[in-house]
Structure 1
Amino acid sequence: MDWTFAAAGLVTGFLVGLTGTGGGALMTPILTLLLGVPPLAAVSTDLVTSVVMKPFAVLVHLRQHTIRWRIALWLCVGSVPAAFVGAMVDGLLRSARVDGILRILLGAALLLAVASTVVRMYLDLRKRPENPGVEPEAAVAPGRLVLIGVVVGFIVGVTSVGSGSLVMVTLLLMYPRLSAGRLVGTDLAQALPLVASAALGHLFFGEVHFGLVAGLLVGSIPGAVIGALLSSRAPSRVIRVTLAVVLLASGLSLLGLAALTTLIVVAVAALIAATAWFLLARTTHSAAANEKTTVPSKGRELL
């Protein structure tokens, strides 16, 4: 047993359970850049590991009722067959150039998602808090969801990246008023059959190292359960901040930034985000407190 792989699985599993993203976008670069696994073997091994790990996180969200099944179902209608086709294309006609282009585009998309997530958090802090017990019903758009599923499924089949990150970005844009817990639960639910389809393709056409799968699962299964428990109970703002950090790390790694440089940039960005969030939340809280104290005094003056 190589405990390095177990540790990598623990970190990745925790992030997947907590944010719904970070599986392929983090695990594949870790396997290839840090642990020396060949690219095709890394993609295949990552997908098979995810198939076994993600049901544990989905089960947690299922018990917490934080899955929007209609959204997940329509995504799967497009993504499942497209993922198998992508895996077949990847195994038979693998092209380092095409794979590199896809990763650059995906990395740029993730960095754009970081910007949109930060803007969304800022707007949430600026507006008055709504009743936390009331959540609007999400309108389902089957055509758009199926099309998104096809695109994401093919990319996942080719690169193993995107089953969580790309769909989470889409869900954030299409359903901004859904709580973070429901976004994560829905994302994980749709990702399970998608990843299973891609993994099946890689079992036939890829290069799965089952010894590595076993080592990764030792850490990833408990990590995914712990992360899912936290995501179904933690405040939405905490999850969104973590999601932004994970997406930033994933995007930078996909764009080819060195591991140490990525770590430094993410650490600095997380520190800046935490400081800005604290100052803005403090200002907003002070403004709300002042409003509560001034309104009664005006009422007494009128009397």
Structure 2
Amino acid sequence: MDFDWTMALGSFLVAIVVGLTGMGGGALMTPMLVTFFGVSPLAAVSSDLVAAAVMKPVGSAVHYRQGTINMRLVAWLCVGSVPAAFSGVLVARALGDGQEVQHFIEIAMGAALLMAAAGLVVKGILARRGDGPGESSEVTVRPVPTVLVGAVGGLIVGITSVGSGSLIIVALLALYPTLKANQLVGTDLLQAVPLVMSAALGHVLFGDFRMEVTAALLVGSVPGVYLGSRISSRARSGLIRPALAFVLVASSLKMFGVPLEALAWVLVGLAAASVVTWRVLRRRSTVVPHAEAREPVRSGR
């Protein structure tokens, strides 16, 4: 068995993103295997899911120790996602290559990811102005829509390996907009553990699992997701939200089939625009208090 160290390095970088944002594993890892390393799509999906079954518990354990997980949300999501994920593997096998189905799912997910990124930006702007909903550790769990989210996400994960983080975290953002960013990441990572394990078992039995690919992914992804999770579990929402939006945009563009060179330039432009915007907002937030401090206090006579 030949070990590919460049594949391990790539999985390390992707896993940092997964640990930091709770998403991007299937949306980034699987395309990386197919595009850069020539792995067949079915083998990439199967090997990625088996590796994720080991990687996800590492990241979720860090968040569990930090107390940044909503266990009730995890439980209701798993009620729908675990059986649906295994069923998704059987659906994929029944559909054959399923190119048209997977293409439709990718386009739909790309649109959803872009809307989620826009929602994060709007939420951040409203939070700065004090007009948006505040973040809270306690949310009222809605069982029926949460189970449905888990079922739909699990089915898509079983077919494409994409969605355990990206799709479900989008739905969680819509259902629970006041959930803290680090709790959103921690909850999504933990719910993905049984979901991915169920899908991975199906792919080991019926897919195209390749041990040499999975081994390289594990060597890079385990330390990567641990590092990213340590950062996100301790970081403030102001750091996680831009990173999450950045990954959402990257994943959505990949779903739309944007070429890698164009994708790289778009992401560089977004990163530069984000830095400029951050500096402008920071300057405004410091100028306004100084101006108020210089304003003389007038006493009434």
Q: Does TM, normalized by the shorter one, top 0.5?
A: yes
After alignment, is 273-282 or 68-77 more displaced?
A: 273-282
User: Is there any run of 5+ residues in structure 1 with no aligned partner, and where?
Assistant: none
Structure 2 Cα separation of the partners of residues 291 and 130 of structure 1: 26
| Residue 220 of structure 1, CA deviation | 0.5
What is the match of residue 280 of structure 2? 279
What is the match of residue 33 of structure 2? 31
TM-score by length of 2: 0.94
Counterpart of 1:253 in 2: which secondary structure?
helix
Structure 1 Cα separation of the partners of residues 33 and 225 of structure 2: 18
Paired letter, 2:279 = F
Structure 2 Cα separation of the partners of residues 130 and 27 of structure 1: 34
| Residue 128 of structure 1, CA deviation | 8.3
| Residue 191 of structure 1, CA deviation | 0.8
Partners of 1:114 and 1:244 within 8 A in 2:
yes
What is the match of residue 158 of structure 1? 159
| Residue 281 of structure 1, CA deviation | 2.9
Paired letter, 1:209 = R
What is the match of residue 270 of structure 1? 271
Structure 2 Cα separation of the partners of residues 206 and 72 of structure 1: 27
Provide the identity percentage. 48
Structure 1 Cα separation of the partners of residues 293 and 86 of structure 2: 57
Counterpart of 1:33 in 2: which secondary structure?
helix
Please tell me the root mean square deviation across aligned C-alpha atoms, in Å. 1.9
What is the match of residue 100 of structure 1? 103
Q: CA distance change for structure 1 residues 278 and 77 in 2, over 3 Å: closer, same or farther?
A: same
Structure 1 Cα separation of the partners of residues 157 and 75 of structure 2: 17
Structure 1 segment 92-131 matched on structure 2, within 5 A: 92-94=94-96, 95-127=98-130
Paired letter, 2:198 = S
Partners of 1:92 and 1:205 within 8 A in 2:
no
Paired letter, 2:266 = V
What is the match of residue 185 of structure 2? 184
Q: CA distance change for structure 1 residues 124 and 44 in 2, over 3 Å: closer, same or farther?
A: same
User: Is there any run of 5+ residues in structure 2 with no aligned partner, and where?
Assistant: none
What is the match of residue 172 of structure 1? 173
Structure 1 Cα separation of the partners of residues 293 and 12 of structure 2: 46
Say whether residues 1:230 and 2:269 are aligned partners.
no
Q: How many residues align?
A: 298
| Residue 226 of structure 1, CA deviation | 0.4
Q: CA distance change for structure 1 residues 130 and 289 in 2, over 3 Å: closer, same or farther?
A: farther
Structure 1 Cα separation of the partners of residues 50 and 254 of structure 2: 21
TM-score by length of 1: 0.93
